[in-house]
């Protein structure tokens, strides 16, 4: 697929190619049992995205249910702390269910229904994708099972309750590190056994082809809207687009419409946990190496024998040892930059946004906000930064309150 630009320029290499490869990344490293389903999904997705009935139905749901287009908020007081740069927040936190995840899930759920599937499964880290999937399943009358690492069910208990309230079954995964990567393994296992009636609603731009392409296409709306909104507001393109990167879905959605705009820097901020140098982090591009995980070739955290290294981040949503293959490709081609942000830097930015703008961000998004503080100070007061505020912080209040010592005596864990 060629990336089309409204300005008439086009990026030369079609990515992904027919085999789902972004350069050397992506592809399909999947059990044979899934290959027929992946072929079917690829064909159905290609047909659906060209079908005006499907796109109209998706657009209507995004508009009347999810709340699109999402707002752009100018963060003036926050910007003053970011070297005086003009900081524009793309408010994905205002979407129904509180994050960008709903864009992709509504698309995939409609596609699942179109292909006659009656059940959705999903993996989730922080619970945002699980809540979005449970929501779409309820809306479309589909069964729903969400796999979540046992550790994450504890730190995101509120989202577990939300999913159950919406009628989903939440399965705590006790294998391995009991976090997001193990939930992904478990979801694949379920899918292999149930592929006849089940669609695996993958939550990020990851997995075997066509998932990285499909998820990107459902999230492109973020950047397409934001580009037009920023142009209207400022009369020009932003100097940089900033987003947090775990698997990388909100980042690819925010970046994609700007890829042909070579004057716009695209910067992804990875979760550096205690610091990349400590080994306790989830900064896959910065601190990982190329390999195969969860059906794709990409950067991942692995040891000298190719065993996955467990990731660490204060943000359950970024706590994943891999990254979407398109980000690996954007990194290698130099079109996007990836930088690490530690837990401490993210939490500082988290608190700052609360105090300066009256917005409590998701801890994931706080990584991009920490990036805005850095980049704003580098580029100075003439710069305009577009920051994807990927989600709201309600789900993270327990973590944040404990971090800042705001819990009443005896309540802090």
Partner 1 sequence: MSVKAAYDRARAENRAALVGYLPAGFPSVDGAIEAATAMVEAGCDVIEIGLPYTDPMMDGPTIQDAVHRALVGGVHLADVFRTVEAVAATGAETLVMTYWNPVDHYGVDTFARDLASAGGTGLITPDLTPEEAGPWLEASDAHGLDRVFLVALSSTDERLDKITSVSRGFVYAASLMGVTGARTAIDTGAPRLVERTRAVLDKNGRDLPVGLGLGVSDGAQAAEVAGFADGVIVGSAFIRRLLDAPDTASGVAAVRALAADLAAGVRAGRG
**Under the rule (CB under 8 A), what is the footprint of partner 1?**
19, 27-37, 175-176, 181-182, 185, 188-189, 192-196, 291-295, 302, 305-308
Report the run of H or E that residue 273 belongs to, with start and end: strand 265-273
Where do the DSSP E strands lie in 165-239?
169-173, 198-200
Instruction: Decide whether 40 or 277 has the Cβ nearer to partner 1.
Output: 40
Instruction: Decide whether 238 or 288 has the Cβ nearer to partner 1.
Output: 288
Instruction: Decide whether 36 or 157 has the Cβ nearer to partner 1.
Output: 36
Instruction: Check 81, 90, 99, 101 and give the catalytic one.
Output: 101
Q: Is 5 one of the annotated active-site residues of the chain?
A: no
Up-side HSE of residue 50: CA atoms within 13 Å toward CB? Answer: 6
Residue located via tokens 């524009």: 88
Which long-range contacts (C-beta less than 8 Å, at least 24 apart) are formed by 289-295?
Answer: 290/24, 290/25, 290/328, 292/29, 293/181, 293/321, 293/322, 294/181, 294/184, 294/185, 294/188, 294/206, 294/207, 294/208, 294/322, 295/28, 295/29, 295/30, 295/188, 295/206, 295/207, 295/208, 295/211
27: tokens are: 């592809």
Instruction: Check 123, 217, 357, 364 and give the catalytic one.
Output: 123
Q: Is 6 one of the annotated active-site residues of the chain?
A: no
Rounded to the nearest whole angstrom, what is the least distance from the CB of residue 162 to partner 1 in the complex? 28
118 burial class (0-12, 13-18, 19+ CB within 10 angstroms)? middle
Instruction: Decide whether 308 or 345 has the Cβ nearer to partner 1.
Output: 308
Rounded to the nearest whole angstrom, what is the least distance from the CB of residue 192 to partner 1 in the complex? 6
Instruction: Decide whether 305 or 409 has the Cβ nearer to partner 1.
Output: 305
Task: Go through 358-379 and write b for each residue having 16 or more CB atoms within 10 A of its CB, e for each that does not.
Answer: ebbbbbbbbbbbbbbbbbbeeb
Q: Are 238 and 231 in contact, with CB atoms under 8 Å apart? A: no
Rounded to the nearest whole angstrom, what is the least distance from the CB of residue 292 to partner 1 in the complex? 4
Which residues are catalytically annotated? 101, 123, 390
């Amino acid at each position: 697929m060629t990336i089309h630009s409204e300005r008439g320029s086009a990026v030369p290499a079609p990515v992904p190619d027919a085999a789902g490869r972004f350069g050397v990344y992506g592809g399909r490293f999947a059990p044979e049992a899934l290959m027929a389903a992946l072929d079917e999904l690829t064909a159905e997705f290609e047909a659906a995205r060209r079908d005006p009935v499907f796109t109209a139905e998706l657009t209507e749901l995004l508009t009347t249910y999810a709340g699109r287009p999402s707002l752009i908020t100018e963060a003036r007081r926050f910007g003053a702390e970011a070297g005086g740069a003009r900081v524009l927040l793309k408010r994905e936190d205002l979407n129904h269910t509180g994050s960008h995840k709903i864009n992709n899930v509504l698309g995939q759920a409609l596609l699942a229904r179109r292909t006659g599937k009656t059940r959705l499964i999903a993996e989730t880290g922080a619970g945002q994708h699980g809540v979005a999937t449970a929501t779409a399943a309820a809306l479309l009358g589909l069964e729903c099972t969400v796999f979540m690492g046992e550790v994450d069910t504890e730190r995101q208990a509120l989202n577990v309750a939300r999913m159950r309230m919406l009628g989903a079954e939440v399965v705590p995964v006790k294998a391995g590190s009991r976090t997001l990567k193990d939930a992904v393994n478990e979801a694949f296992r379920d899918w292999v056994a149930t592929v006849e009636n089940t669609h695996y609603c993958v939550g990020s731009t990851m997995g075997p082809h066509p998932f990285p392409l499909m998820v990107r296409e459902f999230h492109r709306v973020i950047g397409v809207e934001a580009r037009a909104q920023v142009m209207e507001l400022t009369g020009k393109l932003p100097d940089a687009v900033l987003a947090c990167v775990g698997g990388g879905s909100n980042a690819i959605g925010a970046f994609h419409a700007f890829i042909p705009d070579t004057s716009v820097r695209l910067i992804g901020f990875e979760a550096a946990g205690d610091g990349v140098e400590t080994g306790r982090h989830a900064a896959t591009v910065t601190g990982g190496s190329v390999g195969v995980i969860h059906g794709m070739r990409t950067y991942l955290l692995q040891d000298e024998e190719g065993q996955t290294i467990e990731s660490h981040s204060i943000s359950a949503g970024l706590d994943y040892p891999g990254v979407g293959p398109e980000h690996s490709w954007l990194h290698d081609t130099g079109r996007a930059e990836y930088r690490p942000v530690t837990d401490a830097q993210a939490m500082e930015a988290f608190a700052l946004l609360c105090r300066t703008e009256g917005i409590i961000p998701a801890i994931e998004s706080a990584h991009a906000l920490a990036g805005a503080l850095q980049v704003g100070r580098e580029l100075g007061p003439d710069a305009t930064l577009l920051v994807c505020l990927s989600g709201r912080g309600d789900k993270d209040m327990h973590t944040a309150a404990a971090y800042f010592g705001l819990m009443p005596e005896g309540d802090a864990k």
